[in-house]
Structure 1
Amino acid sequence: MTDRPSDSAPDLRILGDEITLQPSGFVEPPKRTRDEGKEQALMENFARFRSEPLQFLREVSLYVSGTGWRAYDHVVGQPIFYSGFSEHIKTEVMSATLLQTKIAELADMRVAVEEKEGLLNKLDNDFQTKRAQRRGVIVQSLQDVAEHLTDSMICKFESKTFIRGAYYMVTQLLLRAYHQGIHVSSEEVLRLRNVAEEAQRKKQSIIFLPCHRSHVDYVSLQLLCYRLGLALPVVVSGDNLNFPIVGSFLQHAGAMYIRRSFGDDQLYTTVVQAYIDTLLRGGYNLECFIEGGRSRTGKLLPPKLGILNFVLDSLFSGRVEDAIICPVSTQYDKVVETEGYVTELLGMPKKKENLADFLSGGSSVLSLRLGRVDVRFHEPWSLRGFIDQQATRLSKVPSAMNINWRDTKNATVRQKLLRTLGYKVLADINDVSVVMPTALIGTVLLTLRGRGVGRTELIRRVEWLTGRVRAKGGRVAHFGNSPLSDVVQRGLDVLGKDLVGVVDGLAEPTYYAVDRFQLSFYRNMTIHLFISEALVAAALYTRVKRGGGPSIQDIPYQDLRDQVLFLSSLFRGEFIYSSEGLNVNLERTLAGLEADNIIHIEKDEEGHITKIGLSDAERAAGRENYDFYCFLIWPFIESSWLAAVSLVGLTPPLAQKADIWIQTSKALSSAQLLGKTLYHQGDLSYFEAVNKETLKNSYQRFEEEGIIHVVRSRDSRIPPRLRLAPDWRPARDPATGRLAPTAGRLWEFTEKIASSRREGKNRRDGATVSTRVVGLAEELGGKMFEEAMAGGGSVGEGKGKGKGKVVAPATLSGEEARELGRAVREQRRRRRLESRARL
């Protein structure tokens, strides 16, 4: 289905107190004079404060007093913002049977421990009395802790006056940065209101599950719900945002604070579950980010299933009947945090959020003109209906596991439903996401050969890409009747000269990527639409890179399929694939590429595909369309190749008999350093390949496939450690101790990735490159082993500023070794049962 201006619903433009129904294809309104509307005046409110203080105060008073729609009185949803709301919720949580049962259980466990340790003497005449008294003290102590946890956690919807003022202030701040407002689909908004009215009647919660690219995400959704008269959702937030002043403000505006990690804290976990139960039973709306944290790369991250696990438990246990799921996509012309993301992805530690940074950076951020925000709502659906549908579907699928898929107490069933739910939400978000002009421009600039591109060619390629997005069922931000040249210029203005440079004084303006790493954030906003084509193009490239005539570059179908299977498995943690399976997806993708005249397909007499190659038309066009798909995937292939090469450095020294475990974060830092070195020496084409998140995803895949083993200590202070699996270790020369550069299972695996890498100027000297790359990896690995052994095999406290940090032991304890053995066996069993393709 295409999203053409002629058949798509109009947008609602939300700008402060003005909602305008825009015609399809709207980009931005013509310039107005001061008297033609409120938009210009609204944007000048803060600027007029000193010259027009009375007018400014009057407008503020409209929000505080709740004039008209600002009153927020007729809300679709359960009652909130009344005096005593927080105490009501706290009472519901504390009186929950689930929580009281857990407190009693923990108290009994503690009393049993004290009996065993002799703190309670069973021989005392009044033992039972003392025991009951001690148990009562423990119960009361746990009650106090639970009450404190609850008070710190719950959102505090208390005052309409507060929320009116907060709405006004936040709107003013947001629209000074995103000066073209928030856009939504009128059709989606009307549908959402109808669903909300039905949910209100049934006293069911709407669970909003947005993607997460910016702190603006939850601000924009709260503003939309307020302006459209929907009950504000409780927003699940990390307690890292609970810093002075701002933390309290957010909590009264809807934030629910939870720890990043629960560990083995049973009481805290139960308090969270009791609070989720209370919200869902009461029909209060909930919002949590399906990806967990913000995406630093621009594309969707794998789902984080913690909160959804609590939600499913509420339904599985029968404590809650149903809830409504609403996936949400939030897209930006420009994400304000991308510069900080690049710093993090290059290995710099993430800075903790604090008020000082917010205030010091606020003035510069608010003075930016970042374009607009587009929010899209997928059609909401019943969570209970989803669970029943999946149970029915899974029951009909033959499986090696004898499982009753309707038994929701079974851990395997729960995990399967949870993962399926997470990836369905991600797919729904992708389905409704809007591609912004900045994403189109960023994608074009990073998928063209050469230093730069002329203005005419840039516009032509943006037009081509727009057509491809729509042909793939994607949505493009409305362009309206504005010439495409104006839309492109608008996108260039928003990206700014720090990301896209222009060379003037030539025959035509020529644009080039200034910061390719940061610009890749915008390219990654489109890659989900073309991942199947990109994987096919990369598989075909194993032959195209050989050069020569068409007969040399054509690839047998089975070889293409094998490489596509390999790459798709390699990137399973990076991208979201269609659920229809490899064969269906591959055949559809090949048919589409053939219809676009990019490839030609040869078939036998029975109609089976035998061979694939580039079409004559694509060769005549300089491979520009085929190269587009390759350029999309090459940075990710490069990063996976780098991660695989870095594993060479995890080969133990020849004299090392016992296994030495390397801290995972140090291995990733070493891989980044290796990548930066190879990039500057010409052995990497893309600096984005040193992206920490992509490298981390690669290591995760290597762990899943048994290439590396990772141990995670029960002591949360001890960071994860890893080693290269024994059957994947390259051989060393017995005499010199040096690694064999081009032999062994790991190198064969690395070469399979490399076969789809972009050919570069230093890549054709074979053994010389292999020797140099392996030598660097081995050198860096040697330093890691030296540091690990120097750190000792014991746990020790740091000193000075590092006090409290724990050195990661270089060897495993007996308990860790046994846990590792169980984990390795479980991984092997899971791979056999799921019949997954091995890398």
Structure 2
Amino acid sequence: MANGADPIQTDILGKDWSIVSLNFTPTSVSSFGSPDTPSRHSRDLITASFTHFRDDPFSFLREISLHYSGTGWRAYDAPIGQKVFYKGFSEEMKARVLRSPMLVRKLRELAERRVAVEEGMGLFEGEIGSGRSAARRCEVERQLGEVTDRIVDDMICKFESKGFIRGAYFLVVQLLARAYHQGIHVSTHEIHHLRHIAALAAPRHQSLIFLPCHRSHIDYVSLQVICYRLGLTLPVVVAGDNLNFPLVGPFLQHAGAMYIRRTFAGDEVYTATVQAYIDTLLTQGYNFECFIEGGRSRTGKLLPPKFGILSFILDSILSGRVKDAYVIPVSTQYDKVIETEAYVSELLGIPKVKENLWDFLSSSKFLNLNMGRVDVRFHEPWSLRDFVESQIVKAAAESTAPAGTPVDRDAPEVRLRVLRSLGYRVLGDINRVSVVMPTSLIGTILLTLRGRGVGMSELVRRIEWLRGRIRAKGGRVADFGALDTEMVVERGLEVLGGLVGRVDGLAEETFYAVDRFQLSFYRNMVIHLFISETIVAAAMYTRVKQGGGPSNQRVEYRNLLEQVAFLSQLFRGEFVFPTEGIKTNLEKTVRGLQDDGVINVGPPAAAATTTAADGGDGGDGGSGIGYVELSEQERRCGRENFDFYCFLIWPFIESSWLAGVAIIGLTPPEGMDDVWVGLTQAQDMAQLMGKTLYHQGDLSYFEAVNKETLKNAFQRFQEEGILLVRGSKAAARCHIAPEWMPKWGDEGRIAEGGRLWAFVERIAVSRREGKNRRDNASVSTRVLGLAARCGRELFNQDSFLSYS
């Protein structure tokens, strides 16, 4: 078997497997990348055989002719999976969707409901028999059928022409290779296993459901390219209908795009049609792709799961219409994301410019970027049916119903439980296989060091430390062959370009963060690995910042547990936390920090031990830990590791604190107690306050004014019952709950004290000290005065107000 190809590879790729192998030569074991295991070897699927016309015109023209003639793997003649790209595919698919029993029943039900309404209006009075209503029912069904027909035409992908997809592949690869000049890399082991699973699923008509994270337009392009290159049936990709415009819309639709509206709640015909199409795809075993986060992440970290399309997939399984499918979480990581500049503008509140993929791909900026590489990783595929059944069993075990009572699978609470578990399982799997890129390492280190800049030797040292910590946490670092760390850092700095400044003419080459806001995008790709450590460090900081000797900075374990629980609840919508429970997770994290030499752990006091012996937990949660403190080793190294964890979480703490201060500013002026202000305007006010406080020195991190993070913080205050919200989206109005309402004091100032004040203060004790660190209260008179002034201006804008 040539080149060591396994049977599946030889059968699918045949005589041209040797050509593919030229692009699949494993890189040498890396001194920089992940541990030396087969699953960690990466291969470049794009640039290994790529040639520019100006460099080698004959090779370039030869490659074009091979694509045109469909030679070898380029022919895409026998992909693993269901047959696609033939004349009549779209009409066959459309007919299957329109014949869907579920859709036919739904249209009949809607027609009957409409006729019943018309009968109630007396429109059939005087008619003899039921002939008129029956005729009307048929007419309404026909009209609904015409509507459905148009919806399906606009929605379905059109895998019609093999010549088209060969040309599209060549064109897209040319663009990608110019933008990401180091190629698209995949794991050798993962792609072999993926092809194996695809070969098992194909004869059973079981779909592969790809669920990637979403940070860039390149996400869906790269996955289609990979599937084509590996000889897998291309997935049908859920896309917003905003991309369905002339030229680009049809191009994407013929390459696999399934267009759906952004919102269609309440439109029963459209909802049923989407369900029928997804049922048809999964029943027939066509591969499917949708983004678990919905839209693109503007912050760099994973967003909470969106349950729209997932709910359709789940309904297909729960109803029994689809027997099973394989779920494949996918992580796509970039040296540099093309859209980050646009993201920063949006997050700073600059009105969003309507964008489209054509402008994105056709811009000269896109064609010559040299933005490094893309790493795509696939989690182990798992059975969706098995997962759903396991969740049903858990629901039955936790049910309060009498033993033996079957679980109602259609009960809303059961469906919601399974749906949420599915969403967060996928997010966890994506995090587990994500690869940390060199640019993320550089951005993270630059944003977690004290001082203006850092020398190359220190930068390399800290990056090697971070790489080791990532590996110890079970994470992965991109494989760069035998390159040493300094060379990889140089390449990363080149890709980051103007985001990092370089000071020459010094005793040592020195680097500094030029655009901290944009660099935070790359830092946020790392934070999920250390979220437990960051929460513990921030909770300890409540005492560490007081200074003094070790005993003065010691934190009682019960106090640590309370603050960790508070911060974990505060950020439950911001991060994906381990599922073992707060006490177990805290103990594991503390023991891990102790093993790393960051902290010391002390035993409970004798009195507490006695209490525990008498049946209590002694205040230590049953952990046998009485207190924690910084280790002597950590003190000698200037707290650099402890500070690293604090620097990771502090921008998010500041954002939550800023949201709390802004909400205090929503205290209604006298005589306006029943006034509700616009939620969007309140969030804009918080952002304006944040920019002001940053430039005045009361806010340490400009990233804290991030629009998305502030929105999440407002959501958390709403979940806590502090902020009441009514209405939806642009029309939403908010008001402080009466039991949380601050009071007005003398001289038109908001008085200190009260429940909301205490809640915001509890956030503040873990934030980095600003210029007001010597104030008795972190929500100082100065900050409160600004909040009250901004709030008054908001209440004076009548267009944003409503009355209860």
Q: TM-score, normalised by structure 2?
A: 0.91
Confirm or deny that 1:284 pairs with 2:296.
Answer: no
Quick one: which of 338, 344, 365 aligns to 1:336?
A: 338
2:720: which partner in 1? 705
Deviations 1:752-778 (A, max 9, x none): 000000012333234696112111111
Quick one: which of 669, 674, 678 aligns to 2:689?
A: 674
1:19: which partner in 2? 24
Deviations 1:557-584 (A, max 9, x none): 0000000000001000111111111111
1:719: which partner in 2? 731
User: Equivalent residues in 2 for 1:20-99 (5 A)?
Assistant: 20-25=25-30, 42-45=50-53, 47=54, 52=57, 56-99=60-103
Deviations 1:649-693 (A, max 9, x none): 222222124x22222211111110010010001000000000011
Are 1:16 and 1:172, in contact at CA under 8 Å, matched by a contact in 2? no
User: Equivalent residues in 2 for 1:375-774 (5 A)?
Assistant: 375-397=376-398, 406-496=407-497, 498-604=498-604, 608-657=624-673, 659-713=674-728, 719-733=731-745, 737-740=748-751, 742-766=752-776, 770-774=780-784
More divergent stretch after superposition (202-211 vs 349-358): 349-358
Deviation at 1:57, TM superposition (A): 4.8
Quick one: which of 134, 139, 142 aligns to 2:141?
A: 139
Confirm or deny that 1:811 pairs with 2:803.
Answer: yes
More divergent stretch after superposition (226-235 vs 475-484): 475-484
2:127: which partner in 1? 124
Looking at structure 2, the residues matched to 401 and 419 of structure 1 have their Cα atoms a distance apart, in angstroms, of 25
Cα 1:768–1:521 shift into 2, 3 Å: closer
Looking at structure 2, the residues matched to 38 and 434 of structure 1 have their Cα atoms a distance apart, in angstroms, of 18
Partner amino acid for 1:728?
W
Looking at structure 2, the residues matched to 699 and 162 of structure 1 have their Cα atoms a distance apart, in angstroms, of 48
Looking at structure 1, the residues matched to 269 and 637 of structure 2 have their Cα atoms a distance apart, in angstroms, of 65
1:830: which partner in 2? none
Cα 1:246–1:356 shift into 2, 3 Å: closer
Looking at structure 1, the residues matched to 18 and 267 of structure 2 have their Cα atoms a distance apart, in angstroms, of 46
2:13: which partner in 1? none
Identity score, percent:
60
Are 2:300 and 2:522, in contact at CA under 8 Å, matched by a contact in 1? yes
Cα 1:17–1:134 shift into 2, 3 Å: farther
More divergent stretch after superposition (765-774 vs 167-176): 765-774
Looking at structure 2, the residues matched to 656 and 16 of structure 1 have their Cα atoms a distance apart, in angstroms, of 73
Cα 1:38–1:409 shift into 2, 3 Å: closer
Partner amino acid for 1:591?
R
More divergent stretch after superposition (478-487 vs 312-321): 478-487
Deviation at 1:202, TM superposition (A): 1.1
Looking at structure 2, the residues matched to 723 and 182 of structure 1 have their Cα atoms a distance apart, in angstroms, of 49
Looking at structure 1, the residues matched to 121 and 783 of structure 2 have their Cα atoms a distance apart, in angstroms, of 59
Deviation at 1:502, TM superposition (A): 0.5
Partner amino acid for 2:528?
H
User: Equivalent residues in 2 for 1:143-292 (5 A)?
Assistant: 143-292=145-294
Deviations 1:531-550 (A, max 9, x none): 10100000000001111111
Are 1:660 and 1:810, in contact at CA under 8 Å, matched by a contact in 2? yes
Are 2:118 and 2:124, in contact at CA under 8 Å, matched by a contact in 1? no
Deviation at 1:25, TM superposition (A): 2.2
Deviation at 1:27, TM superposition (A): 8.1
Looking at structure 1, the residues matched to 133 and 22 of structure 2 have their Cα atoms a distance apart, in angstroms, of 63
User: Equivalent residues in 2 for 1:362-373 (5 A)?
Assistant: 362-373=363-374
Deviations 1:150-200 (A, max 9, x none): 110111111110000000000000110101111111111111111111111
Cα 1:231–1:393 shift into 2, 3 Å: same
Deviations 1:43-96 (A, max 9, x none): 413x46xx95x8655432321221111010121101111111111111011111
Are 2:50 and 2:177, in contact at CA under 8 Å, matched by a contact in 1? no
Cα 1:267–1:711 shift into 2, 3 Å: same
Aligned residue for 2:802, secondary structure, equals: coil
Looking at structure 2, the residues matched to 38 and 730 of structure 1 have their Cα atoms a distance apart, in angstroms, of 60
Aligned residue for 2:388, secondary structure, equals: helix
Deviation at 1:117, TM superposition (A): 3.1
Aligned residue for 2:643, secondary structure, equals: helix
Deviation at 1:780, TM superposition (A): 1.4
Deviation at 1:480, TM superposition (A): 2.9
Cα 1:435–1:15 shift into 2, 3 Å: farther
Confirm or deny that 1:304 pairs with 2:306.
Answer: yes
Aligned residue for 1:21, secondary structure, equals: coil
Give the number of equivalent residue pairs: 761
Cα 1:538–1:402 shift into 2, 3 Å: farther
Partner amino acid for 1:710?
V
Deviation at 1:220, TM superposition (A): 0.7
Deviation at 1:204, TM superposition (A): 0.4
Looking at structure 2, the residues matched to 270 and 41 of structure 1 have their Cα atoms a distance apart, in angstroms, of 46
Looking at structure 1, the residues matched to 46 and 327 of structure 2 have their Cα atoms a distance apart, in angstroms, of 36
1:828: which partner in 2? none
Q: Return 5+ residue gaps in structure 1 as ranges.
A: 1-11, 29-36, 792-807, 813-839
Cα 1:131–1:398 shift into 2, 3 Å: closer
Looking at structure 1, the residues matched to 274 and 153 of structure 2 have their Cα atoms a distance apart, in angstroms, of 12
Deviation at 1:136, TM superposition (A): 2.1
Are 2:554 and 2:627, in contact at CA under 8 Å, matched by a contact in 1? yes
Partner amino acid for 2:540?
L
Deviation at 1:302, TM superposition (A): 0.4
Cα 1:137–1:567 shift into 2, 3 Å: same
Deviations 1:415-436 (A, max 9, x none): 0010011001000001011111
User: Equivalent residues in 2 for 1:308-319 (5 A)?
Assistant: 308-319=310-321
Cα 1:403–1:752 shift into 2, 3 Å: farther
Looking at structure 2, the residues matched to 123 and 366 of structure 1 have their Cα atoms a distance apart, in angstroms, of 71
Are 2:456 and 2:510, in contact at CA under 8 Å, matched by a contact in 1? yes
Looking at structure 1, the residues matched to 777 and 277 of structure 2 have their Cα atoms a distance apart, in angstroms, of 61
Aligned-CA RMSD value? 2.4
Looking at structure 1, the residues matched to 549 and 98 of structure 2 have their Cα atoms a distance apart, in angstroms, of 75
